[in-house]
Every structure is written in structure tokens, then in C-alpha cells.
Amino acid sequence: MSERRDLVSEHHPALLKVAELGEHGVLERIRARVPPAPPWVTVGIGDDAAVVEPMRGRLDVVTTDAMVEGVHFDRAFGTPADLGHKALAINLSDLAAMGAEPRIGVLSLVLPPDLLIVDLDQLLDGLLVLAAQHRLALVGGNLARSPGPLCINVTAIGSARRRTVLTRNGVQPKDGLYVTGSIGGAAAGLEWLKAHSQAPDTNTEMAACVTRFLRPQPRVRAGLRVARNRIATAAMDLSDGLADAVTQLTRPPGLGAVIEADTIPVQDAARRWFAARGHDPIVAALSGGEDYELLFTLPERPRSRARLLAQLVKPLSVTRIGTITAAPGLVLRRTTGDEPLPPGFSHF
Amino acid sequence: MSERRDLVSEHHPALLKVAELGEHGVLERIRARVPPAPPWVTVGIGDDAAVVEPMRGRLDVVTTDAMVEGVHFDRAFGTPADLGHKALAINLSDLAAMGAEPRIGVLSLVLPPDLLIVDLDQLLDGLLVLAAQHRLALVGGNLARSPGPLCINVTAIGSARRRTVLTRNGVQPKDGLYVTGSIGGAAAGLEWLKAHSQAPDTNTEMAACVTRFLRPQPRVRAGLRVARNRIATAAMDLSDGLADAVTQLTRPPGLGAVIEADTIPVQDAARRWFAARGHDPIVAALSGGEDYELLFTLPERPRSRARLLAQLVKPLSVTRIGTITAAPGLVLRRTTGDEPLPPGFSHF
């Protein structure tokens, strides 16, 4: 067997392991997969650093996020392409929450020596397909060996106009809280994967939840359009869940929030998944992370702003889920009475 | 004992472990240690992303580098402050090799849950002291839990003038090869640490080598001054050793190099260390990595350029170690004859 494998791997570098191809071999292979850089990239992959022309009159928006095997993902749950997609998606979601347009990314890979080159190829392709969709150029990175887990760290840089950049500050009492799309799907999908240790059949309703967990779609266009129209007082993405996001946006002293439980747009399949397991779907959706939807706050008036928001984020839906209060405290309002908002999701 | 520890840790968060303080607690603690951001940082730590004003008329220079426990470092070898220093230093060295001025950094930490907060504090302080020396603002980052090794990933962004940015391209036949400072020290220091598993007495000659390994000094000022004076055809830093750097600079087809063995500025203590162990100090210094000196190529004429280079990099020394050739092949020239250049250092 091992003799045959040697013969095969000699002719098919994809069947080699990372350690067998070596650092320069892996770098060459990555370089060959990355499409030609746009003209504003002066120096791309292969030098000590990348050199990029900033966008005239714009600000640089910088974010970094890591995915760690055994903490954020299990290689058995999805494909290597899913990992590459998600490692970039979580960074694009941060840019979306700032109203920034993606421009460049650098990729730092910490690779177990026995990772197959074919898996590395697919990881990179997953990242590059999403990068192309959002016109982000991969301009550099770093390779290191891992003594254990696979770690993928992406730093993404976007550009934003000074007057339209969206931050977490600016929230005012009486602002409405609006969330795009639906939530709870990623948390239900993760539970499904933990229970089954493999992906579901594509035609089941849980497949959509699993896909949300494995391949989140960053709301880049929605973030950009809302920012440019300057209708929101604040924005943030739902990486650590809706409850956490509401907590973060109401950090300035003297702010609180009331969340109307019945309005929370819980993904249908997730609602059924949680209910079938005896969990309150509202609490599960509020606490679950990784939906990567956007949360906006909008001033109470003019009321036309809410209609404009719905127009801007199309084809996504957007739902008003509550109101910022001038009194501290985070309240979950149900028909049966008020409760404290459950805590958010922690990656830590 | 454990009861006492609980009492103590309750009053001294520094004695807690990372997992005990929690993600938001750790974030707050990091935020409190980072000095106020300069005015060109529009949004600093604590939002979805950092927002930074680019330097007018300059290019952005972006690099990323990771340090992984068990691969790049052993926690027993140095202090947490050494780790923080080095994680930034290796990135600053890349900026130096491009002739870029450091501006901002983002820090992605993958932390074992049992890491002590006091160690995290010191790690951060080691990074922040070096950041202040080079006027780099830490503007953001990411925290994740590690299932094993401590990983520190820094992305650093600098600025450079379009006409003066230094790349690895531009090397011409007959160019002279010049290296700053001395080499081999970091490799000898690492060998010393592996043999002794602790730091040497500060008054021994090996202490200097160990310090070079643990706390490399990025040659930022030298890189900037050489770039601004436009005297070099190419530059690169010696992260993977001198032999590797010569290999990289002569990648364009039709280029080679002759390295004069006797001219290589091997650090004295390292020379003695390698010789005492029966290793050729020249080969050890060429193959050893992590000295983070700079390698420049200079056109043959005018000869005054070499003198100007020496002026510009002061107080560092600079040594001509060889010549680029129009014939492929990398030669190590000794008084006893020519040899092939040994291979470089691999982190992989």
C-alpha cells in the first residue's frame, strides 16, 4: 500500500500531505490558485508584505477573526471549502456591520503537517470563491505548522466613507431595533451536526440550518446600502448572537432595551428543532451565535425610515424586534410577562 | 490551598485564568492596557472593525505573521513579554524590509483556557512597549479559545511612498549583497535554550544570542532610511535565514549569487558556540533563521552607494557578503574552493 501511495503521490501533488510538499511548495500552490490581483494592488503575494493603494478619500476598515479546530469547527462536519468560505465570511460580516466595502484580505494558516494538499486546495477555493463574489483580493498571508489544531486567521480590510461609517455607538433611547433575515438557524444546524456527525440530506429542512452554520452569507450589500443612506444610528453583526448584540449596543450608561419575544424572526426549521427538544425556541435563537445577520438601530422618527430600511436590505427581510430604552436593563417581553434577556453565545 | 487561591483570585484578577475571567472580561482588560489611539484612528478597539485614516498620498503595506506554541516558541524559554514583543517584531521586520513606516496592528489571540491573566497582561505589555517604540497603534483584534497551543497572530499595516517602496524584485546581475548587523545569534540562542531549558545568566556571552532569539529588534529605521534614499534594488528580511533570503532574491530566471564565506558577519558568541559543537559556523549562520536583519542588493556603481548605505543604517553595521551573478546557481566561496549554498531554515 505505502509503495503504491508513494507512486501515486509523486504524480499527484494534491494527494501529498502539507509536510511532504514543504513550505515553499505549499506557497507556490497557493499562489497558483489566487487570481491575478487588481491594478491597485502594487505588490501581491510573495514579498515581505503586500502593498496596496488606499481608496482616495476613504477610510480603511480593518478586522481580524480566527477559526480554530476543536473550538469553532470540526473537520468532520463540513468540507474544507466550507471552512475557507466561513473563515472569510466572518470577517466580511464585520466589514458589513461597519458599512464598509471589502477590498483586501491576508490569510494566516496554521496547518497540521498531515493535512492533505487536496484539502488545502479546497479550503483555499472556498475562500477565493467568496472573495471573488465580494471583490476582495487576497494579497498575502503566512504559513505555519500546527502541533495540533488547524487554525485559519483572516484579516480583511475594506473602505468606507468618513461620513457614512456605521459603528456601535450612536444608539439613542426610543431607537427601534431591527434585525435582517432570520436567526437561530446556525445554532440549530450546529446542534444537528453534533447529534449526527455528518451533513444532512440536502432536501431536509435541517439542511438549510446546517448550511447557515457551515456557510454563513455575510450581509455586505445590506450593510453598505444602509450605511450610504445614513438611516441607522448604529449597527453590529450577530456573530455572538442577538442577545449579545443587544447587550453590546446598550453598553453606554443609561441605555437599556425591550425585546418583543413574538416578533423575533426565528428560522422555521430551527423553531421546530428547538421545540421538539423541549427548548424554548426564542431563548435558543437569542442565545445562539453565528447567524451573521445584521442588527441596526433606527431613530423613532420619521417612520418612513423603517420602510426605507426594508427597501435597502432587499432581498433580505428585516424585522423590528424591540426598542432602546432610557432605563438600564434588558427585558424580554412576552405575552406572559417580562423576563431578563438571556445571555449571549460565547466562543471562549 | 484551593480555598486560599479562590480568595486571592477574587481580589486579584491577574491571578485568574483566562477561562475564569471570560471573553468580555479579558477584552476589557486588554482594552484598559492599550494606550489612547492617535487622532487618525477613527474607531479603535471594541467595534466590529477598526477604522483608520490612510496616510495621504501613501500606499498601505500589509503583513501578517503567526507564532505558534510548540513550533515557534516554548513558554519555558522566555517570558510572556518576550512572546508579545516577538509576535509584533516579526511583523515590523517585514514592514522594515519594504521600507514602510509602521502605523497600525491588529492582534488575534488563540488562548489556552488555563493561561494566567498575569501572563496575558505581560504578553500584551511586551507587544505594546515595542509598538510604542515604533509608533504603531494597536487598533483591534480577536480572542479565541485554544484546544492546545497558544497562538499569536499579528497583522501590521504600514505606509510607504509609491516611489520608494522596497520589494524583492529589481535585483540585477553584479549587484552587491549587503547584510545589516550580524547573523547566527538567534540560531545559537535557540540551541542554547533547547540544551538548558531556561534563560542564561545575563552576564554570559550566550545571553546576547538568547536575547536575539527571544527579542529580535526589527530594523525599521534602517529599512525606512534605505528606502527613502532609493539606493537599493531590492530588500528582504532574514526571518528564514540568509541562505533562504539569497535564494528568494535570485528567484527571477537567469540570476544566481556568489557568497564570500569569510565576509559573513557571524555573531562572535554564535561562532564560538557552533565551533565548540563541531558545526561549521558559516553553514550554521547561513541556515539559521530568525535573526531579522535586512538583506539589501545595491548596484555595483556608483561605489559611493555602499558608503551611503553604511551611513544610513548606523548605528547598525552593514557588510558586503557577495555578488549577484548572471549565471544561475548559488555558490558559497571559501578559500578552499566553491560549495553549493546550504539550504535555508524552514518553520514548517
Can you tell me the mean pLDDT for A208-234? 97
Q: How far is B287 from chain A (nearest CA, A)?
A: 15
Q: Which residues of A touch B43 (CB under 8 A)?
A: 98, 165, 167
In A336-346, which positions are buried (b, 16+ CB within 10 angstroms) versus exposed (e)? eeeeebbebbe
Residues 6+ apart with CB under 8 A from B259: B177, B242, B246, B286, B321, B322, B330, B331, B332, B333, B341
Pairing verdict, β A50-52 and B59-68: antiparallel
ipTM of the prediction: 0.94
Per-residue confidence (pLDDT) for residue B3, from 0 to 100: 46
Per-residue confidence (pLDDT) for residue A23, from 0 to 100: 87
Can you tell me the mean pLDDT for A330-343? 95
Query: How far apart are alpha carbons A217 and B324 in whole angstroms?
Result: 50
Residues A155 and A94: beta-carbon distance below 8 Å: no
Residues A71 and B144: beta-carbon distance below 8 Å: yes
- Which of B62, B66, B145 is closest, CB to CB, to A139? B62
CATH topology of domain B176-340: Phosphoribosyl-aminoimidazole Synthetase; Chain A, domain 2 (3.90.650)
- Whether pLDDT at A6 is above 60: no
Pairing verdict, β A151-160 and A59-68: antiparallel
In B, residues 135-154, which contact A (CB 8 Å cutoff)?
A: 139-149, 151, 153
- CA atoms B183, B189, B190, B194: torsion sign: positive
Q: Which residues of A touch B42 (CB under 8 A)?
A: 59, 162, 165
Summarised one tens digit per residue, pLDDT across range A76-133 is: 999 999 999 999 999 999 999 999 999 999 999 999 999 999 999 999 999 999 999 9
- Burial environment of residue A235 by CB neighbours within 10 A (0 to 12, 13 to 18, 19 or more): buried
Q: Do B142 and A65 touch (CB under 8 A)?
A: yes
Residues 6+ apart with CB under 8 A from A56: none
Residues B165 and B63: beta-carbon distance below 8 Å: no
Q: How far is A201 from chain B (nearest CA, A)?
A: 30
Per-domain residue ranges of chain A: 16-160, 176-340
In CATH, what is the architecture of B15-160? 2-Layer Sandwich (3.30)
In B, residues 205-244, which contact A (CB 8 Å cutoff)?
A: 235-237
Output the tens digit of pLDDT for each of chain B's 348 residues: 344 455 444 557 788 999 999 888 999 999 999 999 999 999 999 999 999 999 999 999 999 999 999 999 999 999 999 999 999 999 999 999 999 999 999 999 999 999 999 999 999 999 999 999 999 999 999 999 999 999 999 999 999 999 999 999 999 999 999 999 999 999 999 999 999 977 788 778 899 999 999 999 999 999 999 999 999 999 999 999 999 999 999 999 999 999 999 999 999 999 999 999 999 999 999 999 999 999 999 999 898 999 999 999 999 999 999 999 999 999 999 999 999 999 876 666
What percentage of residues in chain A have a pLDDT greater than 90?
A: 89
Per-residue confidence (pLDDT) for residue A38, from 0 to 100: 97
Summarised one tens digit per residue, pLDDT across range A306-331 is: 999 999 999 999 999 999 999 999 99
Q: Do B165 and A42 touch (CB under 8 A)?
A: yes
- Identify the closest residue of chain B to A23 by CA–CA distance: B348
Q: Which residues of A touch B103 (CB under 8 A)?
A: none
Summarised one tens digit per residue, pLDDT across range A172-211 is: 999 999 999 999 999 999 999 999 977 788 778 899 999 9
Q: Which of the following CATH numbers is that of domain A16-160: 3.30.160.40, 1.10.630.10, 3.40.50.880, 3.30.1330.10?
A: 3.30.1330.10
Measured between CB atoms, does B28 come within 8 Å of chain A?
A: no
- Whether pLDDT at A344 is above 80: no
Which among A24, A30, A47, A152 is the top mutation candidate for probing chain B, defined by the most B β-carbons within 10 Å of its own β-carbon?
A47
Measured between CB atoms, does B60 come within 8 Å of chain A?
A: yes
Backbone φ and ψ of B142, nearest 5°: -150, 145
Can you tell me the mean pLDDT for A212-237? 97
Could you write out the DSSP letters of every residue in A58-127? -EEEEEEEEEEBTTTB-TTTS-HHHHHHHHHHHHHHHHHHHTPEEEEEEEEEEE-TT-BHHHHHHHHHHH
Give the residues across from A64 on adjacent strands: A155
Measured between CB atoms, does A103 come within 8 Å of chain B?
A: no
- Which of A18, A107, A151 is closest, CB to CB, to B110? A151
